[in-house]
Amino acid sequence: MTAALVVLLYLIALPTLSLYLSKGHHDDPSRGHRDLPAWAICLSIVATETSTLTVVSIPGVAYGGSFVFVGMALGYLIGRIIVAWRFLPLFHNRDMASAYQYLGQRFGPHVQRLISASFLVTRLLAESVRLFAGMLPITALCAASGFPIGGPFLMVLIMILTLSYTMLGGLRAVVWSDSIQLLLYLGSALICIVLLSHQVSLSQALAGAHLFAWGHPAFTSPFTPAAAIIGGTLLTLASHGTDQLMIQRCLAAKSLSAARGAMIGSAFLVGLLFAALSLVGVMLHAQHHGALLSQPDTLFPNFILTLPPVLCGLLVASILAATMGSLSSAMNAMTGAIMGDFAPYLRRFALSPIALSRRITAFWALALLATTFGFSGIHGSAVIFAFSITSYCYGAVLGVFLLAMLRPHATSRAALTAFFTSLAILGVLSQLRIEGASIAFSWLVPAGALSGLLAGRVSEFFVER
C-alpha cells in the first residue's frame, strides 16, 4: 500500500501545485502572455515531445540496440538550431497565437485552416494512441503496486485530473506541470541508474555501446547514421518548427532570444533523457547477461516492480506524469489552434475568451476519450497506422512552410498543390517495401517536404506561363 499512497499523493499534488503556480491571469488561457521563463519552456518542450511510450520503450530498445536514441538526438540538435534561427522569428515578430497564422498571412485563411485542421485530426489520433498504449503498463504497474484499478476507469480519472489544471490554469499551468513531470521521470531514471550501479559495473554495461545501428538497410531503420542525422533534422524542423504543440510554448517566452534558448536547450535535455533511459536499458542487459526479451516494452515496468515500495510508487507516478504531460499539452495546443485559426467561426458564441477556451478544452478531453476507447478494440496495425499518419502530415505541412519561406511569390494554389501532392506521394511510399520492411518514419518527413516543395514550384511555373 505504500506505493499506492505515493501514487495517490502525486495525483493530488500535481493539479494543486500547477494551479497555484499558474494563478494571476484571467483572459484567454490558451496563450502564455510572454512571461514564462526560458528554463520552464525548455522543460515543457521535452515533456511535450515525450510520453509514457518514451519512458517505457527506450530501455527496451537500448537493451538490444544500445544508445541509438541518443544518436537520433544529434539530428534533433541540428534541427532545433535551424528552428531557433529560421522558424521562430516567423512567429515571434508577428505576435501570433497559432503557428498557422503565418500561413494565413502568406496564403490566406483557407490554407491556414486546412493546415490547422490537419494538425487537429492527427494530434487527436496520436494522443489517443499514446493514451491507449500507455494505459497498458500503467494499469499493470498500479495493480502490482497495490493500487488495482481498471484501465477504462484509470483513463477517465487521469483525464479528469489533467483537464482540471489544463482548463482552469491554461498554458501557464500546462508548462509548470510539464516542468514538474519531466523532472520527476528524469530523476526516476537517474535513481534507477544509481540502484543498478550497485549490481552492474558501468564499464561492463558500456562494453560495445554504440550510437547508431550499423549494417542495417539505409531506408528501413530510423537508427542508421543517415536516418538519425538527416532524417532526424528534418523531422525536428516539422515537429518543432511548424507544429502548434511546440510553437505555442515558444510564443509564451519573454523574448525571441529566450524562445531560442529554450528550443536549443531542449535538444540537450532530451538527449540527457534518452541517455539516462538508454543507460537503464544497457545496464539491465548486462544484469540479465544478454538474455533475449520476448516483449522489450515490459523490461522497465518489470524492473520497477522489484524496487522498494516508495521507489516503486515514485516510478509509477513518473510514468503517470508522462501520460498527463502529453494529454495536457495536446488539449491546450488544440484549443489554441481553434482560438487562433477559427476565430471568425467563434464570434457567434457570446462568451468571454476564458469561458470559450475552457469549453473547447473540455470538448477535446471528451474527443480524446472517445477516440481512445475506439482504439481499444483494434490491435497493432491501427496503432502503426495512426502514428504513420502523423509522420505523413508532418512532411506535407513542412513542405508548405518551406514554400512560404523560400518562395516569396508563391500563391495559395501552389501551397494547396504542395500539400495534397505531398500527401499523395507519402501514401504511395507507405505501401513500398524494401527487403520486406517498410520505409522508416524518419525518412517520411524529408520525402514529404521535398516532394511538396517541388510540386509547389512546378505549380508556380505553370501559373507564371
What local confidence, expressed as pLDDT, does residue 147 receive?
A: 65
Decide yes or no: CATH 1.20.1730.10 for domain 33-378.
yes
339 CB neighbour count, 10 Å cutoff: 20
The model's pTM is 0.89
CA–CA distance, 425 with 396 (Å, rounded to integer): 10
CA distance 363 to 369: 10
Q: Which pLDDT band, with edges at 50, 70 and 90, does 312 fall under?
A: confident
134 versus 191: the higher-pLDDT residue is 191
pLDDT at residue 381, rounded to an integer: 38
- pLDDT over 60 at 25, yes or no: no
Per-residue pLDDT of 353-386, as tens digits, reads 888 888 999 999 999 999 888 765 544 434 445 5
pLDDT of residue 382: 41
Q: What is the DSSP letter of 465?
A: -
How far is C-alpha 422 from the geometric centre of its chain's CA atoms?
A: 22
Contact partners, residue 372, CB within 8 Å, separation at least 6: 128, 131, 132, 155
What percent of the chain has a predicted confidence (pLDDT) above 90? 29
pLDDT at 33: 60
Q: Which three three-digit cell numbers place residue 128?
A: 489517443
Q: Pick from 203, 192, 185: which is nearest to 303 by CA?
A: 192
pLDDT tens for each residue of 40-97: 999 999 988 887 778 888 888 888 778 888 888 899 999 999 999 999 998 887 777 7
Residue 242 is classified by DSSP as T
Rounded CA gap, 133 and 322, in Å?
12
Helix axes 256-287 and 52-65, enclosed angle (nearest 10): 50
3-state helix, strand, coil in the chain (%, to 5): 80, 0, 20
How much is the pLDDT for 102? Answer: 92
| 413, 419, 421, 424 alpha-carbon torsion, rounded to 10° | -150
**291 vs 415, higher pLDDT:** 415
Percent share of the chain, pLDDT over 70: 90
Q: Would you put residue 95 in left (φ > 0), alpha (ψ -120 to 50) or beta?
A: left
> In this model, does residue 464 exceed pLDDT 60?
no
Q: Which of 164-173, 413-422, 452-461: highest mean pLDDT? A: 413-422
User: Which of 462, 457, 446 lies closest to 415 in space, CA to CA?
Assistant: 457
What pLDDT is attached to residue 199? Answer: 87
